[in-house]
């Protein structure tokens, strides 16, 4: 509701008038609540407009209409047919009796007739049209600097004409920024202030309530679950989360309560707010738990998919539902679901480190870490992931502080995680020029990797030891430049470390580290003035990176 179906029907009537020999008739069904009254309503409309003469007293309306319209070339526009559904028998008989008759029917729900040609409308497709409608209804005229706020209001209501008009009615009472804030909080502001507003359009809540009342209990139960989704959802995900069937999905599509976008579906954002307002605490807990369970399973598929599909493709799939994964993560925080974090955190850490946004990843892991004491296994792991993403973000001081907080508990970490903690500390120290301490932590990383035969960890350690060796050519262990104490022999040490790192990376197929080591070896050859060898290494690195089709597959 509120998409402008009636206005569109009236506009169609005006444009169609020259094309129908016997005219165009607009039939409002707003006051008709029984299909049995439809023939009498149509008859009254046609007689009042002098399209047909009045019937004789006692003559049955339907048969009289069929006789009068049998040879007519007309367009009949029935407006607001939804309250008469599912009864469509009169329309079918009317078309059968008058072959030159055409019907245009506006409805919030499909008629589901074989002859039906559907033209679905939603919000205004042109943002400029939406803004013009707002400005037309807003009194007084708004200053040019309010244009951005008008755009935001239109975006929040998804360019829905009725919602735009209702919001504009408050423009002379409230600042536009206040209207934006209220729209972000719910539907309360979308109430008519005009005395001539149609009763059924007095508020967006009233519009949605009319649609809600026409649903059966199975359809309502299905619709209650859909606001959990933050991004367009697949049929599979909606049906699993709700335990509904495709019949309910098809019904909500027919009623225009769910919109199709390619192979996915979506609720109108205002309808989403309306349904959320109907949630009780028990409903919220049940829906959010089911939503979380689905995306925990999704993450498990994502992790296995990394082994079966190109990394870029898997990342694209995750990106499509990232808002839902974030919502599931936040619910896991609220409900302190340790099992959810155990299943999701490594995959999300990997995703955010490669695709970003890193700041979002940091905030999510920081929030989750606060839910559990540092002494617990999950508390340590969440803080480790936070530090990892902080280091990736370049916030080395914060990452270093986070690692310093958890290193006293490193005996509770697995060898691989303890090694990663020392690696993060080593990177932070290296980036701040404290090369001696960085080397010591990298050697701890190497020791952990060797102890558990973690070649990925060994590759990390050797790679950073090579970078530290390169820095040592020109700087001392405290990062001070040594103008007269250059140590070219460390170039050979760096080359040896990079070759060791490359060998390990190839054995575990860490593409990102393979490319990085080839680049670093190329730099070493360039610095040694061996330009042909440097060029060959650089070209090899570029070729492998292009073949991978992404920025790499490093997961730590």
Mean pLDDT of 260-281: 92
Residue for token pair 């730590």: 556
CATH second-level architecture of 427-556? Alpha Horseshoe (1.25)
The predicted pLDDT at position 201 comes to 63
3 vs 466, higher pLDDT: 466
Share of the chain above pLDDT 90, in %: 60
pLDDT, tens digit (0-9, with 9 covering 90-100), for 479-488: 676 655 667 7
Q: Count how many residues are written for the chain.
A: 556
Whole-number CA gyration radius for the chain = 33
Asked if 35 contacts 62 with a C-beta cutoff of 8 angstroms, the reply is no
Query: How many Å apart are CA 219 and CA 242, to the nearest integer?
Result: 10
Dmax over Cα atoms in the chain, in whole Å? Answer: 118
Tell the CATH topology of 214-279: Arc Repressor Mutant, subunit A (1.10.10)
pLDDT, tens digit (0-9, with 9 covering 90-100), for 427-481: 999 999 999 999 999 999 999 999 999 999 999 999 999 999 998 887 777 767 6
Sign of CA dihedral 520, 521, 526, 528: positive
Residue for token pair 């990102």: 512
Asked if 63 contacts 51 with a C-beta cutoff of 8 angstroms, the reply is no
Residue for token pair 């951005």: 148
The predicted pLDDT at position 552 comes to 39
Q: Which residues of 1-21 are buried (b: 16+ CB within 10 A; e: fewer)?
A: bbbbbbebbeebbeebeeebe
31 band by pLDDT with thresholds 50, 70 and 90: confident
330 vs 154, higher pLDDT: 330
Asked if 228 contacts 327 with a C-beta cutoff of 8 angstroms, the reply is yes
172-181, 220-229, 341-350: least confidently modelled range = 172-181
Which residues have C-beta within 8 Å of that of residue 500, sequence separation ≥ 6? 458, 462
The predicted pLDDT at position 96 comes to 92
Asked if 108 contacts 211 with a C-beta cutoff of 8 angstroms, the reply is yes
Given a cut of 50, whether residue 23 has pLDDT beyond it is yes
Mean pLDDT of 398-405: 96
Query: How many Å apart are CA 150 and CA 206, to the nearest integer?
Result: 24
264 phi-psi bin (left φ>0, alpha ψ -120 to 50, beta other): beta
The predicted pLDDT at position 130 comes to 87
The domains spanning 5-105 and 214-279 adopt the same CATH topology: no
Given a cut of 80, whether residue 3 has pLDDT beyond it is no
pTM above 0.75, yes or no: yes
CATH 3.30.70 is held by the domain 5-105? no
For Cα atoms 9, 10, 15, give the angle at the middle one, nearest 5 degrees: 95
pLDDT, tens digit (0-9, with 9 covering 90-100), for 96-114: 999 999 999 988 888 888 8
Which residue ranges make up each domain of the chain? 5-105, 127-206, 214-279, 427-556
246 band by pLDDT with thresholds 50, 70 and 90: very high
- Which DSSP category does 102 fall into? E
Per DSSP, what are the bridge partners of residue 27?
A: 78
Tell how strand 24-28 and strand 102-105 pair up: unpaired
Query: How many Å apart are CA 12 and CA 106, to the nearest integer?
Result: 11
The predicted pLDDT at position 208 comes to 86
| Cβ atoms within 10 Å of 132's Cβ, excluding its own | 14
For Cα atoms 496, 500, 501, give the angle at the middle one, nearest 5 degrees: 115
Given a cut of 80, whether residue 60 has pLDDT beyond it is yes
Query: How many Å apart are CA 228 and CA 287, to the nearest integer?
Result: 7
Which residues have C-beta within 8 Å of that of residue 307, sequence separation ≥ 6? none
- Mutual orientation of helices 322-334 and 358-369 as an angle, nearest 10°? 20
Share of the chain above pLDDT 70, in %: 93
Q: Is 32 helix (H, G, I), strand (E, B) or coil?
A: coil
Asked if 52 contacts 68 with a C-beta cutoff of 8 angstroms, the reply is yes
Given a cut of 70, whether residue 307 has pLDDT beyond it is no
Q: Nearest to residue 94, comparing CAs of 74, 60, 69?
A: 69
HSE of 531 in the Cβ direction (CA atoms, 13 Å)?
A: 0
For Cα atoms 189, 232, 363, give the angle at the middle one, nearest 5 degrees: 80
Query: How many Å apart are CA 147 and CA 163, to the nearest integer?
Result: 18
Query: How many Å apart are CA 95 and CA 69, to the nearest integer?
Result: 10
Q: In this structure, what token pair is assigned to residue 111?
A: 């008629």
The predicted pLDDT at position 395 comes to 96
Q: In this structure, what token pair is assigned to residue 89?
A: 């028998």
Given a cut of 60, whether residue 365 has pLDDT beyond it is yes
Per DSSP, what are the bridge partners of residue 28?
A: 79
Q: Is 481 helix (H, G, I), strand (E, B) or coil?
A: strand
Q: What are phi and psi of 84, to 5 degrees?
A: -95, -10
Across all residues in the chain, what is the average pLDDT? 89
Given a cut of 60, whether residue 136 has pLDDT beyond it is yes
- Which DSSP category does 53 fall into? P
Q: Nearest to residue 169, comparing CAs of 192, 197, 196?
A: 192
Tell how strand 264-266 and strand 102-105 pair up: unpaired
Asked if 83 contacts 29 with a C-beta cutoff of 8 angstroms, the reply is yes
Given a cut of 70, whether residue 551 has pLDDT beyond it is no
Asked if 100 contacts 71 with a C-beta cutoff of 8 angstroms, the reply is yes
Given a cut of 80, whether residue 408 has pLDDT beyond it is yes
């Amino acid at each position: 509701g509120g998409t402008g179906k009636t206005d569109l029907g009236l506009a169609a009537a005006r444009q169609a008038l020259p094309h129908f020999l016997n005219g165009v008739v607009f039939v409002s069904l707003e006051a008709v609540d029984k299909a049995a009254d439809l023939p009498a309503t149509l008859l009254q409309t046609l007689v009042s407009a002098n399209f047909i003469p009045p019937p004789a007293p006692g003559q049955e309306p339907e048969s009289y209409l069929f006789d009068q319209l049998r040879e007519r070339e007309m367009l009949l526009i029935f407006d607001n047919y939804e309250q008469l559904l599912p009864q469509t028998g009169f329309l079918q008989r009317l078309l059968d009796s008058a072959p030159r008759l055409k019907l245009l029917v506006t409805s919030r729900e499909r008629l589901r007739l074989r002859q039906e040609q559907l033209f679905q409308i939603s919000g205004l497709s042109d943002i400029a049209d939406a803004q013009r409608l707002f400005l037309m209804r807003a009194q007084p005229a708004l200053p040019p600097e309010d244009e951005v706020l008008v755009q935001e209001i239109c975006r929040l209501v998804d360019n829905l004409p009725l919602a735009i008009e209702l919001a504009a009615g408050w423009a002379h009472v409230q600042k536009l920024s206040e209207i934006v804030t209220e729209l972000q909080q719910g539907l309360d502001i979308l109430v008519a202030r005009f005395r001539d507003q149609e009763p059924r359009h007095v508020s967006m809540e009233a519009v949605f309530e009319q649609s809600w009342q026409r649903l059966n209990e199975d359809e309502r139960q299905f619709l209650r679950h859909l606001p959990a989704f933050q991004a367009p959802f697949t049929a599979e995900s909606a049906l699993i989360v709700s335990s509904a069937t495709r019949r309910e999905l098809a019904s909500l599509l027919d009623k225009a309560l769910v919109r199709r976008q390619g192979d996915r579906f979506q609720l109108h954002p205002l309808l989403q707010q309306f349904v959320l307002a109907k949630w009780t605490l028990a409903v919220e807990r049940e829906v959010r738990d089911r939503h979380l369970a689905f995306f925990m399973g999704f993450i498990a598929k994502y992790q296995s998919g990394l082994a079966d599909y190109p990394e870029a493709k898997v990342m694209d799939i995750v990106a499509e539902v990232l808002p839902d994964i974030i919502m599931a993560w936040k619910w896991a925080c609220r409900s302190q679901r340790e099992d959810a974090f155990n299943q999701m955190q490594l995959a999300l850490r990997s995703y955010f480190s490669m695709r970003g946004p890193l700041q979002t990843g940091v905030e999510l892991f920081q929030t989750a870490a606060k839910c559990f004491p540092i002494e617990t296994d999950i508390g340590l792991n969440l803080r480790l992931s936070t530090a990892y993403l902080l280091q990736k973000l370049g916030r080395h001081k914060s990452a270093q502080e986070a690692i310093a907080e958890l290193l006293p508990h490193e005996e509770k970490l697995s060898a691989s995680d303890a090694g990663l903690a020392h690696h993060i500390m080593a990177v932070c120290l290296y980036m701040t020029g404290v090369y001696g301490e960085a080397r010591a932590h990298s050697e701890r990383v190497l020791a952990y990797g060797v102890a558990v035969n973690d070649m990925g960890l060994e590759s990390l350690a050797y790679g950073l030891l090579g970078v530290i060796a390169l820095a040592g050519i020109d700087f001392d262990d405290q990062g001070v430049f040594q103008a007269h104490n250059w140590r070219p022999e460390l170039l050979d040490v760096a080359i040896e470390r990079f070759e060791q790192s490359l060998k390990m990376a190839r054995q575990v197929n860490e593409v990102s580290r393979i490319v990085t080591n080839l680049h670093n070896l190329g730099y070493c050859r360039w610095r040694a003035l061996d330009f042909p060898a440097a060029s060959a290494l650089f070209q090899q690195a570029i070729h492998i990176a292009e073949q991978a089709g992404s920025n790499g597959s490093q997961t730590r």
